[in-house]
Amino acid sequence: MNQTMEKDKTDKKDHILDVAEKVFAELGYEGASTRLISGEANVNMAMLNYYFGSKEGVFLAIFERRIASFQSVLLSIGNDGSTNSWEKLNKYIESYVDRVVNNNCFHVMLNREISKSKKTDLTDQITKILMKNVIVFQDIIDNGIKCGEFNKDVDPQLLVATIFGTKNYIVNTPHISSLIIGYDVMDKDNQDEKLKPRLKTYLKKLLKAYLVNENDNNK
């Protein structure tokens, strides 16, 4: 009858988490009430506590579900010792752009939570996860510099902020980035056909200009 039917059989928990992820991304943790989440998911309010213990339990379950894919993708790139630094960087960019754009709701939710300056167990946990991601990227850059593949006078740490920040800006401020870029960045078709390839080529070109150009950047 309704759109939840096909999921009921497979996994109701996953359906709840899918809906909760969207609502949290839309309204923030405190802004999303348990009544709204359960209503959107077409389940009784008590089911949230029955399944996940509490509202925070729902929130954490969303994270645990996404972390698995995070880790596996990271290792596959880090252990790829066959290619040079520039190729590794390209692979990293490609998989990262795909992953973030595909799970943009989750990343909006994540970034909103981590932007709270007060330290909590959750922010600590998120920080650890994200830092693993950062270190893989930094290792690639550092190795490239050691091998002479990349310029020596670069700032690898701020380059991290640029890569992740550029992505965050597009994903986290869709109202603005859609205006800037010229089409709705939240639209699935636009994401696959336009945004992803454009973002990939842009980031590669930006990185190349900064990392491997021979010109003296010190004037």
Partner DNA sequence: CAAAATTAATCAATCGTTTGATTAATTTTG
Partner DNA sequence: CAAAATTAATCAAACGATTGATTAATTTTG
DSSP code of residue 55: H
Stretch that binds its own copies, among 9-17, 29-37, 42-50, 68-76 (CB under 8 A): 29-37
x/- track of binding to its own copies for residues 176-215 (CB under 8 A): xx-xxxx---x-----------xx--x--xx-xxx--xxx
Given a contact cutoff of 8 angstroms between Cβ atoms, the answer to whether 126 and 114 are in contact is yes
The verdict on 58 binding its own copies (CB under 8 A) reads no
Task: Tell me how far, at minimum, the Cβ of 68 lies from DNA, in Å.
Answer: 22
- Token pair recorded at residue 132: 């693993």
Instruction: Report the partner that residue 114 touches, choosing among its own copies, DNA, none (CB closer than 5 to 8 A by kind).
Output: its own copies
The DSSP code for 53 is S
Q: Which amino acid makes up residue 115?
A: S
Residue of 94, 145, 160, 184 that binds its own copies (CB under 8 A)? 160
Residue 213 partner contact from its own copies, DNA, none using kind-dependent CB cut-offs of 5 to 8 Å: its own copies
Contacted by 95, from its own copies, DNA, none: CB < 5 to 8 Å by type: none
Cβ–Cβ contacts within 10 Å for residue 189, how many? 10
Q: Extract the tokens encoding 206.
A: 């930006």
Measured CA to CA in angstroms, residue 200 lies from 24, 36, 177, 197 at distances of: 28, 37, 16, 5
Using CB under 7 A as the binding rule, whether residue 27 contacts DNA is answered as no
> Could you tell me the two tokens for 70?
């995070």
Binding mask 114-153 for its own copies (x = CB under 8 A): xxxxxx---xx--x--xx--x---x---------------
What are the distances in angstroms from CA 90 to CA 54, 95, 97?
41, 9, 11
**Are 178 and 186 contacting, i.e. CB atoms less than 8 angstroms apart?**
yes
Q: Using CB atoms within 10 A of its CB, is residue 38 exposed (0-12), middle (13-18) or buried (19+)?
A: buried
Are 211 and 154 a contacting pair, CB within 8 Å? yes
13 binds its own copies (CB under 8 A): no
In the complex, the smallest distance separating the C-beta of residue 26 from DNA, rounded to whole angstroms, is 14
Question: Interface residues with DNA (CB under 7 A)?
Answer: 12, 30, 32-36, 43-50, 53-56
Question: Interface residues with its own copies (CB under 8 A)?
Answer: 25-31, 108, 111-112, 114-119, 123-124, 127, 130-131, 134, 138, 155, 157-162, 164-170, 172-177, 179-182, 186, 198-199, 202, 205-206, 208-210, 213-215, 217
